[in-house]
Structures are given as C-alpha cells and as structure tokens.
Amino acid sequence: MNIPLKRISYISLLVLLLLTGSILFLRNKNYSFKNGKNENALVNDTVPLTKYWESPIPHQKVPKGLSSLSAKSCGACHQEIYNEWKESTHAIAYQDLQFQAELNKDHILTCLNCHTPLQNQLKYIITGFVNGDYKTPVKKKNPNFDKALQAESITCASCHVRDGKVIGAIGYPNTPHLTQKNPEFLKESLCISCHNVVDQVSPVLVCSFETGDEWKNNWASKEGKNCISCHMETKHRPLMPGFPERKGHFHAFPGSGIPKLFNRKTHRLESLNFIESTIPKTVKVNESLNYFITLQNENAGHSVPTGDPERFIFTTFTLLDNKGQVVVQEKHRIGEKWKWYPNAEKLEDNNLKPKEKRTYSFTNEIKNKGKYVLKVEVTKHRMNEENAKFNQILGKYPLSITVFEKKYTIEVL
Ligand code: HEC
Ligand code: HEC
Ligand code: HEC
Ligand code: HEC
Ligand code: HEC
C-alpha cells in the first residue's frame, strides 16, 4: 500500500518530536539525579489530571438576575424545593461523618470533587499529583474559595448552574434569572457522572460505585424509568409562591432510608418485596418446623444494595424459647465482600440484581415441648460495626434500619 507523502512527513515530524521530547526528558532526569536532590525529580514526575473525576466543575459565576449561588438564596423563591433538598443526603455529603473521617485520615483532596463538586467550594486548586500519588497533589490556594458554599455540599448550583446561566429542562419565559433550556443536561447522565466510578485511589482504597452500569439494560431502563423518574417523583406545584402550577420534581433524593444522623429526617424508597411461606401454629417434638421468606428486588432499577461496597442486608431467623432465650439464630447476608490489605480486591458480590429473588429457609426440629417464638427480621446496613469503629464513628452514625419484622408463636406438643 502506498502511504501518501503528506502522511510520511507528518510521521517523521512526530518521530522527531518524540525523540527530542525524550532526550529533553532524559536530560532533566539526569540533571536531578546528579544533584542528588529530589526537587527536580518531583517536578518531572508530576502526573497531570487525566480522569474526569480528578477535576471539579470549573469556577461558576453568579447568573445574571441573582445575587448569590447559594442554595439558601435560591430557596428565597424556590421554598419547597429548598426545604426538600435540605433533607437530602446530597446537602450533607461534605459533613458526612464517614466522609470526614476518611478525608482526615487519607487527605485525598480529589475526593471533594463529587462531595463539593464546584471549584468555588474548594480551598485548593489541584493541577497534578507528585509521582501520581493522590496523597501528594500539586496544589495552590483557590482565591475564589467560598466557605459557605462548601458547607452546602451538592448544592443547587452543582446541578443547575453552568456558564453563568441557570439550567432548566423547560425554558420558562418569566424567570428572574438568566436561564438556559437544556433537558439533555438534566438527565440521568448527570446522576451517573457521580454515581458510577470504579477506580483505584491507593492500594487499599477504591471507589466502586456502579449504579449507572447496573441500571443500563434492565427492565427499568427498557420501560423508560431512570434515576430521575424513581428518585425525583413528579410534583405539581408552583415553582415559587404566586406563580402558576407547573410539573416539578421532589428534591429530597430518597435512598435506602438509613439515616445519616440520629434524629435526621430521612426519606426512603423500598426496593424489597417480601414473600413468606405459611408457618404452622403447632408442631410435634422432633418434627421439623419449616418456614421460608423470599426477598425480591422489585422496585429498584439497579442492584440492591447499590453504591458503596460496605452496604449489606441481613435476613435473620431467631428461635426463642418461652423464657426469651435464643435457641438458635441464623443470619444470611446480601452484599459485597472485599479484602482491603495489602490490596483492595472484590471477593464476592451477591447483591440482588433488578427483579432478582432470593429465598432463605429456616428448618428446626425442636426437642422439647413448650411455646416458642420464631422472629424473622430483614435489616439494611450502611456498614458493619468494625468499620464504624475503624472510622471512630461508632455510636454517632446510624448503622442500620429494620425493614421487615415478624414474630410467630409456635406450640410444640
Ligand atoms: C427571585 C426569585 C428566584 C430566585 C432567587 C431563583 N429563582 Fe429559579 N425561578 C424563579 C421563577 C419565578 C422561575 C419560573 C417560574 C415559572 O415560570 O413557573 C424559576 C425557574 C427556575 C428553574 C426552571 C427553569 C426552566 O425553565 O426549566 C430552575 C431550574 C431554577 N429556577 C433554578 C434556580 C436556582 C438553582 C436558583 C439559585 C441559584 C434559583 N432558581 C433562584 C425564581 C427564582
Ligand atoms: C456531584 C455529584 C453527584 C451528582 C451529580 C448526583 N449525586 Fe447523588 N450522591 C452523591 C454523593 C456524594 C452522595 C452521598 C452523600 C453521602 O452519603 O454523604 C449521593 C447520594 C445519593 C443518594 C442516596 C441517598 C441516601 O440517603 O442514601 C441518592 C438516592 C442519590 N444520590 C441520587 C441521585 C440522583 C437521582 C441524581 C441525579 C438527579 C444524583 N444523585 C446526582 C453525589 C452526586
Ligand atoms: C443532584 C442534582 C440536583 C440538585 C442538587 C438540585 N436539582 Fe433541581 N433539578 C434537578 C433535576 C434532574 C431536575 C428535573 C429536570 C427535568 O424536568 O427533567 C430539577 C428541576 C428543578 C426545577 C424545575 C422544577 C422541577 O421541580 O422540575 C427547579 C426550579 C429546581 N430544580 C431548583 C432547584 C433548587 C432551588 C435546588 C437547590 C435547593 C436544586 N434544584 C437542587 C437536579 C437537581
Ligand atoms: C425503577 C426505579 C429506580 C431507578 C430507575 C433507579 N433507582 Fe435508585 N433506588 C431505587 C430504590 C427503590 C432504592 C432503594 C433501595 C433499597 O431498598 O435500599 C434505590 C436506592 C438508590 C440509592 C441508595 C443507596 C443507599 O443505600 O442509600 C442510590 C444512590 C440510587 N438508588 C441511585 C440511583 C441512580 C444514580 C440511578 C440512575 C442510574 C437510579 N438510582 C435509578 C429505585 C430506582
Ligand atoms: C466520582 C464521584 C465521587 C468521588 C470522586 C468520591 N465519591 Fe464518595 N460518594 C460518591 C457517591 C455517588 C456516593 C453515594 C453512593 C451511594 O449512596 O450509593 C458517595 C458516598 C461516599 C460516602 C458515604 C458512604 C455511605 O455508606 O453512605 C463516603 C464516606 C465517601 N463517599 C467517601 C469518599 C472518599 C474518601 C473519596 C475519595 C477517596 C470519595 N468519596 C470520592 C461519589 C464520589
């Protein structure tokens, strides 16, 4: 095959550039080597930002017609939406006790890019990593750092302000602020930009959220249900007092419903549907008592649990005698299993896929006559006690909620 002349000259130019580049690179390396100091080597070994989550959303100006970017200022008009958002986990993604514990331990500033996603919310601007290590970023002070906005975590402007304009899906004519209609932007891809990332941050630290991938190609996406249709229920109401009723969206972003703080109002969606067998009221000594419960991921358009790999679901059977003493207890776990040392690695994943069913049975041959109670419980957990202890948040951070609880009395004759 003939390679056109023009291409050849491009190729030779490229080869030449690469050669000079590598010579310069080698020379610099030698130079720092000779000096016996690391400073130059450090500069040379700086790895620039490459992955999208290593950078925040660029600095945003206040859109024309408004005096501030803060959620509070949006809330002066959009009161109901503001009150809902304040109850969302998004609104405290920075203050989150586990997040703060991890941030203070590892000092990985890039973590902030999803928890306080605007550059306006960041104390430092990061341009690269020394030796490619996230713990040693090349940073400078951000002259436009807004501490009050930082405290708002994933604030209205994270999803609604770009290039000095408020982004909306409709394009209403009478907004007091400069508005741009962009329904394509306010789609599930916005959610997925934060809710789907798999990356190794350090040998023992990984980001592993795959909610976006889990959602693709299942019944929900095929039926046109996306993150927004399930997590931002439709509400018909004026967008501010005195305005006409519009089709709007609930902004509290309900999730599994495990509260982030004791006594914090928490909104919840329930994915699970429970199907039980019948259970006899009486059995004979040494006759087997049988019961089963099926958990189905009926309502979530992704696995359950999803997101953070520390989450799990326990189905617990407890057989108690008439004094309340435990005769036998069985626990079944749904979730991921990881080993963290010396390298993070996923060992197991039996999360319930969309619409998947899992059945757990209880069988026991009771040896003595009397009254017994079979307690059946399903609990959703944010993390186990060991990890809570490790993060020094045990007792401060609610770890689980009960989503199913029944007690059956059985008489053994
Ligand atoms: C002074 C009152 C006021 C403030 C402050 C305000 N808005 Fe609005 N906003 C409105 C009004 C009025 C509408 C249009 C209502 C209508 O026509 O139903 C609107 C519409 C919107 C829409 C829908 C746009 C569309 O066309 O789809 C979005 C999104 C929005 N505002 C976000 C924000 C955000 C984010 C902030 C804060 C950064 C904010 N607003 C601050 C009054 C305000
Ligand atoms: C800028 C990044 C970002 C974007 C964009 C984003 N999220 Fe989140 N979301 C987060 C973070 C971070 C958390 C966890 C906060 C925490 O646990 O402290 C979270 C938590 C959640 C939760 C869990 C709530 C709970 O109580 O457990 C749900 C549900 C959720 N987001 C849905 C959505 C949906 C739907 C969208 C799109 C409309 C979206 N998110 C867009 C970063 C984002
Ligand atoms: C995690 C992203 C996210 C955050 C944070 C967020 N919104 Fe929204 N907002 C959306 C999405 C998505 C829509 C729906 C777009 C559509 O119509 O499909 C929306 C819609 C709106 C609308 C149009 C009416 C409606 O309800 O559909 C207004 C007004 C609005 N948001 C204001 C706010 C205000 C004010 C805040 C902060 C208090 C805020 N939003 C926080 C994602 C977000
Ligand atoms: C068909 C409805 C549906 C769709 C589509 C859907 N979700 Fe969910 N989502 C749920 C339900 C129900 C739960 C509650 C799960 C449970 O029982 O704990 C949930 C839970 C979550 C959680 C909470 C995790 C936790 O443990 O608190 C996050 C985060 C989340 N969804 C994000 C998303 C994102 C991002 C998308 C889009 C890619 C999405 N969801 C699409 C229904 C849906
Ligand atoms: C690409 C965006 C992104 C980055 C970068 C990111 N997070 Fe998150 N983080 C999320 C999302 C999304 C959630 C919510 C997941 C869910 O609820 O399913 C979350 C939740 C969390 C939670 C709460 C877990 C829970 O069970 O509620 C902690 C703690 C956390 N992140 C720590 C970190 C740390 C530490 C880093 C840096 C190593 C980091 N995050 C970087 C997106 C991100």
Contact 131, 42 (CB under 8 A): yes
Pocket test for ligand 2, best of 221, 253, 397 (most atoms within 8 A of CB): 253
Angle CA 119–123–127, to nearest 5: 65
H/E stretch holding 42: helix 39-44
Residue 42: the pLDDT is 47
In 3D space, the residue among 303, 302, 283 whose CA is nearest the CA of residue 291 turns out to be 283
Mean pLDDT to the nearest integer, 147-171:
98
What span, in angstroms and rounded, lies between the C-alpha atoms of 279 and 411? 11
Domain 272-412, what architecture?
A: Sandwich (2.60)
More confident residue, 174 or 167: 167
Residue 281: the pLDDT is 96
For the record, the structure tokens of 167 come out as 């982004």
Question: Is residue 27's pLDDT more than 90?
Answer: no
Report which bound ligand comes closest to the CA of 98. 5
CB within 6 Å of ligand 3 — which residues? 71, 74-75, 78, 81-82, 85, 90, 154, 156, 158-160, 168-169, 186, 228, 232, 239, 248-249, 251
Atom 25 of ligand 4, residue of closest alpha carbon: 256
Ligand 1 atom closest to 70 (CA): 38
DSSP-based three-state secondary structure for 246: strand
Question: With pLDDT > 70 as the criterion, what percentage of the chain qualifies?
Answer: 89
For the record, the structure tokens of 124 come out as 């430092």
Using 50, 70 and 90 to split pLDDT, how confident is the model at 210? Answer: very high
Question: Is residue 138's pLDDT more than 80?
Answer: yes
174 lines ligand 1 (CB under 6 A): yes
114 lines ligand 5 (CB under 6 A): yes
Report which bound ligand comes closest to the CA of 173. 1
Q: How far is the CA of 157 from the centre of ligand 3 (A)?
A: 9
Residue 340: the pLDDT is 84
65 lines ligand 1 (CB under 6 A): no
Q: How far is the CA of 249 from the centre of ligand 3 (A)?
A: 7
Q: Which of 9-18, 192-201, 230-239 has the highest mean pLDDT?
A: 230-239
Contact 319, 395 (CB under 8 A): no
Residue 140: the pLDDT is 97
Name the residue with tokens 């005195």.
Answer: 242
Pocket test for ligand 2, best of 121, 195, 197 (most atoms within 8 A of CB): 195
In 3D space, the residue among 185, 142, 184, 192 whose CA is nearest the CA of residue 162 turns out to be 185
More confident residue, 2 or 241: 241
Mean pLDDT to the nearest integer, 105-121:
95
CATH 2.60.40.10 domain span(s) along the chain:
272-412
Q: How far is the CA of 125 from the centre of ligand 3 (A)?
A: 27
Question: Is residue 203's pLDDT more than 50?
Answer: yes
Give the pLDDT confidence of 214-271 residue by residue, as tens digits: 999 899 999 999 999 999 999 999 999 999 999 999 999 999 999 999 999 999 999 9
Q: How far is the CA of 151 from the centre of ligand 3 (A)?
A: 19
Say which range, 17-26, 83-92, 264-273, 373-382, has the weakest mean pLDDT. 17-26
Q: How far is the CA of 376 from the centre of ligand 2 (A)?
A: 31
Round the average pLDDT of the chain to a whole number and report it: 89
Residue 44: the pLDDT is 60
Question: Is residue 41's pLDDT more than 50?
Answer: no
Residue 204: the pLDDT is 80
